[in-house]
Structure 1
Amino acid sequence: MADSFNFELVSPERLLMSASVSQVVLPGSAGEMTVMAHHAPTMTTIKPGVVTVVTADGQSERYVVFGGFADIVPDGCTLLAESAVAVGDIDREDLARRLQDAREDLADAGSDAAKQKAQEYLDQLTTLNGAILPA
């Protein structure tokens, strides 16, 4: 059995999860990363995506996060999400609203840097939509 560590997933609204886990897969801004016990101290920003958590008893849970950052230490990981929800609780209308807002942000972007950032966010949401809510 793999060593376990403490994991907390927090959104501005509430604490979504606080548990002993064996691994967490995060959508880091530099790419997907797996966190396990005794991980080197790391802090990373989180892009919109799915967080997969394997609890110490082997159960798997998935959450959708819309940005934030993770603080990883050898005995724990805290993910502070801008917004988060369990995959099973995803609201298709909310995701469609976020996609529409991202399209509008792209259309309203004034500088090249703002356009690039808006396009990246729209691409991430589009990929996320396809990954968790297939048509």
Structure 2
Amino acid sequence: MADTFELELVSPERLLLSRPVEMVTVPAAEGEMGVLPGHAPMIVALRGGVIRVRENGADTEKLFVMGGFAEITPTRVTVLADDAKPVANLSRSEAEQMVSQAETDLAVAAAETPAARDRAMDRLLAARAMLDSATAA
């Protein structure tokens, strides 16, 4: 088994990261998921949270994603993120505004379809995760 695998992080605007890494931790919808070289192939949905990149035995990068998908193979992880930015660049005030707007959207969605309510709840949870990450940064 190789010591590294290729990690690519792509947002709608551009390729944000492409390099060999030892490990990556992604905020999968089912919970935090660590990926090492040789991982079983799968595609996972991502929730709002922090992607942690590990190189040379230490965490080298932390990026907040609002959601998306990750395609995992034994030699590559490709993250297709709805939106991504370094945790160090997160703004607490921007995150607070996102939480407030998401709470309003959820209240409006209460009268809509279950799918609309689920999407509104996902946005609220992602905004709260952003606020938590911005506070910790």
* TM-score (normalizing by structure 2): 0.85
Contact 1:4-1:56 at 8 Å conserved across structures: no
Instruction: Report the counterpart of residue 61 of structure 2 in structure 1.
Output: 61
Q: Which residue of 1 aligns with 2:127?
A: 125
Determine the C-alpha separation between the residues in 2 that align with 1:14 and 1:44.
Answer: 21
Q: Is 1:42 equivalent to 2:42 in the alignment? A: yes
Look up the SS of the partner of 1:39 in the other structure: coil
- The answer to whether residue 51 in structure 2 is matched with residue 25 in structure 1 is no
CA offsets, 1:46-68, max 9 Å, x none? 00000000125745210000010
Superposed CA offset, 1:16-39 (max 9, x none): 111110000000011110011010
State the 1:119 CA deviation.
3.0
* Residue ranges of structure 1 left out of the alignment (5+ in a row): none
Taking only the aligned residue pairs, the percentage that are identical comes to 36
Match of 2:13 in 1: 13
Of 65-74 and 52-61, more deviation after overlay is shown by 52-61
| 2:74 matches 1:74 | yes
Gaps of 5+ in 2: none
What residue identity is the alignment partner of 1:111?
E
Classify the secondary structure of the residue corresponding to 2:105. Answer: helix
In the alignment of these two chains, the number of paired residues is 134
CA distance in 2, matches of 1:117, 1:33: 22
Range with greater deviation from structure 2 (25-34 or 115-124): 115-124
- Equivalent residue of 1:43, what SS? strand
Q: Which runs of 4+ in 1 moved over 2 A?
A: 55-59, 91-94, 114-121
In structure 1, the residue matched to 2:112 is 111
